[in-house]
Amino acid sequence: MSTANATATRGRPKSTAKKAQIFEAAVNLFLEKGFDGTSMDEIAERAEVSKQTVYSHFRSKEDLFSYCIAEKCVSYELSPEFLDLERPVDQMLRVVGRKFTDLLHSDDAIHMKRLLCASAEQSPVLSELYYEAGPKHMIDLLTDYLRRQAERGRLKLDDPRTAACQLLHMFLGETHLLRLLNLRQTVDQEAVNDYVDACVDMFLRAYR
Amino acid sequence: MSTANATATRGRPKSTAKKAQIFEAAVNLFLEKGFDGTSMDEIAERAEVSKQTVYSHFRSKEDLFSYCIAEKCVSYELSPEFLDLERPVDQMLRVVGRKFTDLLHSDDAIHMKRLLCASAEQSPVLSELYYEAGPKHMIDLLTDYLRRQAERGRLKLDDPRTAACQLLHMFLGETHLLRLLNLRQTVDQEAVNDYVDACVDMFLRAYR
DNA sequence: TAGATACTGAACTGATGAGTCTAGTAATTC
DNA sequence: GAATTACTAGACTCATCAGTTCAGTATCTA
Whether the beta carbon of B1 falls within 7 A of nucleic chain C: the reply is yes
Does the C-beta of A166 come within 7 A of strand C?
no
pLDDT at B190 exceeding the cut of 80: yes
> Residues by CB within 7 Å of nucleic chain D, which ones?
A 1-3, 8, 10-13, 38-41, 51-52, 55, 60-62; B 9-15, 18, 48-53, 56-57
Q: Which nucleotide is nearest to B44 (CA to C1')?
A: D8
Q: How many residues does chain A have?
A: 208
* Contact indicator for B199, B163 with CB cutoff of 8 Å: no
Q: Does A20 touch chain B (CB under 8 A)?
A: no
CA–CA gap between residue B100 and residue B167 (Å, rounded): 11
- Residues from chain A that touch B114, judged by Cβ atoms under 8 A, are 117-118, 120-121
User: Residue B173 contacts by C-beta under 8 Å, 6 or more apart in sequence?
Assistant: A165, A166, A169, B192, B195, B199
Q: Please, what is the average pLDDT of chain A?
A: 93
Residue A15: its H or E element: none
Query: What residues in B contact A121, CB-CB < 8 Å?
Result: 32-34, 114, 182
H-state helical runs in B152-188: 160-180
% of chain B exceeding 70 in pLDDT: 96
Q: How far is Cα A98 from Cα B167, in angstroms, rounded to an integer?
A: 19
**Site from A73, A115, A170 to mutate, B interface, most B CB atoms within 10 angstroms:** A170
How confident is the model over B157-180, as a mean pLDDT?
98
B94 within 8 A of B200, measured Cβ to Cβ: yes
Neighbours of B134 (CB within 10 A): 22
Our CA-based measurement puts residue B7 at a distance from the nearest CA of chain A, in whole angstroms, of 37
Q: How confident is the model at residue B8 (pLDDT cuts 50, 70, 90)?
A: low
pLDDT in the model for residue A96: 96
Element (H, E) at A184: none
Rounded Cα–Cα distance for residues A169 and A166 (Å): 5
Exposed/middle/buried for residue A84 (C-beta within 10 Å: 0-12, 13-18, 19+): exposed
> Please, which residues 65-94 of chain A have a Cβ atom closer than 8 Å to chain B?
none
A2 phi/psi in degrees, rounded to 5: -70, 150
For the segment A203-208, the average pLDDT, to the nearest whole number, is: 96
What's the rounded Cα separation, in Å, for the pair B145 and B123? 33
Tell me how far apart the alpha carbons of residues B189 and A127 are, in angstroms, rounded to a whole number.
Answer: 22
Q: What is the DSSP letter of A13?
A: P
Beta-carbon count within 10 A of A45 CB:
14
For position B78, what pLDDT does the model report?
A: 81
Q: Which of A136, A150, A160 is nearest to B181 (CA)?
A: A136
pLDDT at A95 over 90: yes
Under an 8 A CB cutoff, do A114 and B120 touch? yes
Tell me if residue A1 falls in helix, strand or coil: coil
Whether the beta carbon of B7 falls within 7 A of nucleic chain C: the reply is no
**What pLDDT, on the 0 to 100 scale, is given for residue B79?**
84
pLDDT exceeds 50 at position B3: no
pLDDT of residue A8: 56
- Predicted confidence at residue B4, as pLDDT, reads 38
